[in-house]
Chain A
Amino acid sequence: MFTLTQTHATLLARLGSPADAAQHGQAWGEFLNRYAELIRGFCRRHSLQPNDQDDVLQDVLLSLSKAMPGFQYDPSIGKFRSYLKTVVLHAIYKKLCQARPGVSLGEMESMAVSQAQTATGDPSTDAQWEQEWRQHHLRQALRVIDAEFSTRDRTLFERYALAGEQPEMLAKETGLTLDAVYQIKSRITRRLSTLIESQIADEG
């Protein structure tokens, strides 16, 4: 069962200081578990195919690993998510630039950088990134929900809160009271909210 076993800061710290090989590999593995889908989602918005998404993911990993050794996690300097965004954008634009034949490597790099630089101020990119980030938080939170709530409750929540089925019908079908159905929905919703709140706080 997947649970958030550690704070975000701890994870970053582990990435930055390789105590031993197994730990290190594990830390990166967890990092990827957390962020791979987020990064892929963002790549898809830029119309990158899965092959290219893999390359971007690898690129991001390499960039981060170069930066990590000196990385002192200090929330006051700036959010990790902004930092990650810039790294991801840079990797994406580099990939997009590679798509243009005849562009030399040097030009590619500077194009990638200048595009990344403009994009980080670009409201539409920012909005996309925000959306992806929300999805990311939801995914994380949902994993915990999976562990904490029974299949019945989760199915109920899905059908009522998301699919919009009638609570009266659901109550009848499951043999629960109407009130119980309402309660399940609100419990899960609240739990999601709390989880995401603490995730965001943790992330810095």
Chain B
Amino acid sequence: MKVERFRATPVLPVIPPNRQSEINSGSGVGGASWFQDEAVLLGELKRSRGTSHTLTIPGYEDLRELKRGGQGIVYRAVQRSTKREVAIKVLLDSAYYSHSGQRRFEREVDLAASLRHPGVVRVYDSGRTSDARSYLVMEFAEGLSLEEFIGQARSDVRRTIATFLKVCDALQYAHTRGVIHRDIKPSNVRVDSEGIPRILDFGLAKIGDDVAASKSGTPGARTAAGSASEQVTSRSDTITTTGQFVGSLPWASPEQARGDHDQVDTRSDVYSLGVMLYQMLSGKFPCDVSGPLHTALNNIVTVQPIPVRQIRTDLDEQLEVILAKALSKEPQERYQSVGDMADDLRHHLAGEPIRARRESAWRGLQRTAMRYRVMVGAGAIALAALAVGSLLALWSASEARTQRDIAQQQTQIAKDESARAMREKDKAEGTVKFLNDLLSGASTVSGTGVEAKVVDVVTKAAATVDESYKNQPRTLAELHSILGNIFLSLDDIPNGRLHHVRATEVLATIKDLPKDDIGLLVARGNIATTYAYEGNFVESARLMQAAIDGYKEHGITKSADLAAAYSVLGVALRRMDKLDEAIAAYQAGIDAAPEPIDPNEPIVLLARANTMNNIASAYHSKNDYAKAETGYKQAIEVYRRAKGDEYSEVIVSTSNLAVLYLNQGRFQDALDLLLPLRDAAEKVYGGEHRTFMIYLNNIANAYEQMSRYDESLAIYEDVIARYRKTGKEHTPEIVVPLSNLAGVYAKAKRFDDAVRVAQESIDVSISALGPNHSSTWLSRQTLGLCLSKAGRVEESLSVLEPVYQATRVGGDKSPIEELWRRCLIASTYAYSLAENERTEDALRVQQEALDTCVAQFGESHFASLRLMEQSTKILEIAGKAEESAAMQARWDTAKRKP
């Protein structure tokens, strides 16, 4: 059974394209001619027929385009039969949508159409246009938008709240029917002439299915999903979040801003309502969304809203508390339903106490800090691990380096001590001046008076630095290094490299510069790092090794730069699959690190833990289980010390260690490790996050290996349900859980289910990954196994034969890498051969598999043991009772070895 493992490897930043080099590289751009040739032009036009611009929808006439968005086009029209005005939303190009997408859309429409509430704009109908696009027919809602309506009435707080409550009621109604709006904002609410607000555009609605209802009871199975009435959501294919999203930015919940669409549920609507009420009462948004998009998104996710009474001092404290609760960053901290929020508002209007409690400022701060850490945790570690010099504290690093340089050089025989000392002093002073100019130069850069961006400032500074410091080459080199690091931290690799290269060039102009000058080594190490950022690990390793050799020639054994250089080298080597060398490099990095000032400083601990985890991962890849286990445990220990239990890296490392145990056949140990952290994992990642799915998959696998099939099934089924819930049922991620589920069904003797699910996993795998992907082969393997267990031996053989043939080749020709897995596949095939009475072939294949596995992994490896069990059975089927018994004995002996 396939077990998923992931590693806490450094996260490389997103690399933007180098605009400078993209000069018109499009082929056949023919910018001048295709549209001037009538035949070509018309040909292209015909090709675009899918989006016809003359639209007819039967039953409706007088279509007039109202507006166009990322999701589709909205028309105003007249229904022929009733002569009433309607709005028709035609969705983009559904010709490419899958069958299931279409079905989902139809279900959505049915649910939306079932909403009958005075506060909800009716959905009347849906259908497909002549060119196969889906459309939705809705009531045409006249009236003011909520914004316009409130603008007139802001001062009357009670009236504002009363109107708002009507919106709440409508939304609560929709929620209880399983419909989430996801795009609540004032422009989606129309207020009619009687002051009744009506919510429109449920076209983005997400529909909730009751998962418990769809599960027919498996005797004894527990659902890990919780209560039967849990609201679950499925993602609609018709959602185009981004177009609407940008316009709806101020009302977007943190989970929407993060892009965690899987996490969006009714509580996201609560958040949006909170923003709306805040806006209605104060005229402002709770978070600053006025800047560039990524700043705005970041603010929504991390910055606490300004308490509303700082803007409107006449508001009641209760309102502030209610808003604060609705606007909590964490969904579980908010009102859990719109109804609850409405209740508190009603209590407030009635002068009664409310349920929401003001939380202490300390907790709020703590929570912000924790959340921020969890989110950027991986990135921060990566940067710390990869930093050469320092990306984090530029000035202090360069100062430190300067001082180290000074210290080092004082132990050598200097040709001209005083001159050198003078140079260092110049350099230090020059650097200070440069940075001051840099920072103070901000106001002179941008002509519009808008706050300058770092990149503008730096670019301008970079242009002048060569001229200003031409007589101070060491300083100049230092500055280029700083600039290089700044650009790297801004994800601009080309400019980053440019400046680091420039640093070496400048140093080269210094007369009588020793070949292994420290500054040069550091600069070379920086250049090597830029290659790692790009993913060019071969080059990175080569250059870094050269730099490291330079340190050695210089007699330097302990240096932060050297340690960082080893760390980067280790990453590069591991990515090149040179595991032994990677481990050696990591180890050398640990040895080379000077004592930190504060060894318990979190960033220091994290860097160390990350290195340990990487080393452990490398050992794990090499199947050196003992060392891997030690490494993981150390890493977990240090992560815990630095960040506590509910921290992503702890979860990841724990899961990795559990996988190790599973590989070793230590199933109970794996379980003991995984179960206590299960809730933390869910909390950190969220119930539908891929990482959490892997985590659950591993728990289920442990149960399965221990033959606790009921528990295993419950979890696998839960995992599958979660995938379905988030619309991931046709993505590659579901293949392994499906395949695992099939296997367990088979073991639990539910053969029909087993075969059905195995087939499903193959189908998904083929469509998502391709017929020759390793996952597809493994899924076929599972099907073969299930058929075999079901007694359908001929079918089983016909399925397993091609799997065996495809995977038996070694090296990079085989779709399956791990040798032990290939041996097990061969063994399964052998067993099937035996069942089909091809005894000679069976014995031959099995022997080969067993010998290979034992030779590579030893007798006591869990795969070897499995193979011995198989051999025992095959020998028995072949009528070789003595040899079968001998094999059994061999198994006994091997199992008892530690």
Contacts and interface: CB of A to CB of B under 8 A. Distances in A.
Interface of A: 1-2, 17-21, 24-25, 28-29, 32-33, 36-37, 40, 44, 49-51, 54-55, 57-58, 61-63, 65-70, 77-79, 81-83, 85-87, 90, 99-102, 104-107, 109-111, 113-114, 116, 120-121, 123, 126-127, 129-130, 133-135, 137-139, 142-143, 145-146, 151, 154-155, 158, 161-162, 189, 192-193, 196-197, 200
Contacts of B44: 134-135, 138
The 10 A-B pairs at the shortest CB distance, nearest first, are namely A110-B535, A86-B17, A65-B293, A126-B27, A82-B22, A21-B290, A70-B455, A196-B35, A78-B22, A106-B9
Interface string B243-268: 10111011000000001010000000
B53 interface: yes
B453 A126 contact: no
B515 interface: no
B382 interface: yes
Given A50-B101, A68-B292, A123-B27, A109 B11 contact: yes
A138 B53 CA distance: 11
Nearest to B732: A99
19 contacts: A49-B237, A51-B727, A57-B242, A61-B242, A61-B293, A69-B453, A69-B455, A70-B455, A79-B24, A82-B24, A82-B26, A106-B12, A109-B535, A123-B27, A130-B28, A135-B47, A145-B53, A192-B41, A193-B35
B628 to A, nearest CB: 16
A45 B29 CA distance: 19
Nearest to B728: A51
B535 A36 contact: no
A201 B481 CA distance: 41
A110 B540 CA distance: 13
A16 B776 CA distance: 46
A135 to B, nearest CB: 5
Given A50-B101, A87-B16, A196-B35, 17 more contacts: A17-B448, A18-B290, A37-B92, A50-B238, A62-B293, A77-B23, A81-B26, A100-B732, A102-B4, A105-B11, A109-B11, A110-B537, A123-B27, A126-B25, A126-B28, A135-B44, A192-B41
A83 B24 CA distance: 9
A77 B12 contact: no
Contacts of A143: 53
A109 B240 CA distance: 25
Contact of B12 (A2, A110, A200): A110
Contact of B54 (A40, A102, A155): A155
Contacts of B415: none
Interface in B8-47: 9-17, 19-29, 31, 34-36, 38, 41-42, 44-47
B731 interface: yes
A126 B27 CA distance: 6
Contacts of A68: 292-293
Contacts of B455: 69-70
Contacts of A134: 34-35, 44
Contacts of B775: 101
Contacts of B96: 44, 50
A67 B16 contact: yes
A203 to B, nearest CB: 9
A36 B243 contact: yes
A58 B20 CA distance: 24
Given A99-B769, A102-B4, A139 B243 contact: no
Interface string B262-286: 0000000000000000000000000
Given A50-B97, A83-B22, A104 B6 contact: yes
B702 interface: no
Main secondary structure of the interface of B (DSSP, over half): loop
Contacts of A158: 52, 54
B243 A32 contact: yes
Given A99-B732, A107-B575, A138 B65 contact: no
Contact of B294 (A62, A109, A161): A62
A87 B69 CA distance: 22
B41 A193 contact: yes
A104 B9 contact: yes
Contacts of B7: 104
Given A25-B246, A135-B47, A151-B54, A36 B70 contact: yes
Contact of A109 (B5, B12, B23, B247): B12
Contact of B41 (A36, A57, A189): A189
Given A99-B731, A139-B51, A83 B19 contact: yes
Nearest to B37: A193
Contacts of A161: 42, 45
Given A33-B70, A63-B16, A67-B16, A162 B46 contact: yes
B239 A138 contact: no
A167 to B, nearest CB: 14
Task: From A51, A116, A135, name the one whose CB has the most chain B CB atoms within 10 angstroms.
Answer: A51
Contact of A102 (B5, B25, B238, B537): B5
B767 to A, nearest CB: 9
A69 B69 CA distance: 25
Contacts of A129: 26
Contact of A66 (B241, B491, B694): B491
Interface in B427-467: 448, 450, 453, 455-456, 459
A29 B51 contact: no
Interface string B42-75: 1011111101111000000000010011100000
Contacts of A44: 96
B750 interface: no
Contact of A63 (B14, B289, B459): B14
Q: Chain A CB within 10 Å — which of B45, B65, B727, B733 has the most?
A: B45
Given A51-B235, A78-B22, A138-B44, A29 B247 contact: yes
A120 B19 CA distance: 12
Given A36-B243, A44-B96, A162-B46, A100 B70 contact: no
Contacts of B243: 29, 32-33, 36
A120 B245 CA distance: 29
A136 B90 CA distance: 19
Given A32-B242, A62-B294, A189 B38 contact: yes
B218 interface: no
A18 B291 contact: yes
A20 B36 CA distance: 40
Contacts of B735: 101
B177 interface: no
Contacts of B51: 37, 139
Contacts of A189: 38, 41-42
Nearest to B31: A200
Given A69-B292, A101-B732, A197-B35, A110 B22 contact: no
B535 A111 contact: yes
Nearest to A71: B19
A106 B11 CA distance: 5
B55 to A, nearest CB: 10
B350 to A, nearest CB: 36
A134 B48 CA distance: 10
B98 interface: yes
B730 interface: yes
A70 B454 CA distance: 9
B736 interface: yes
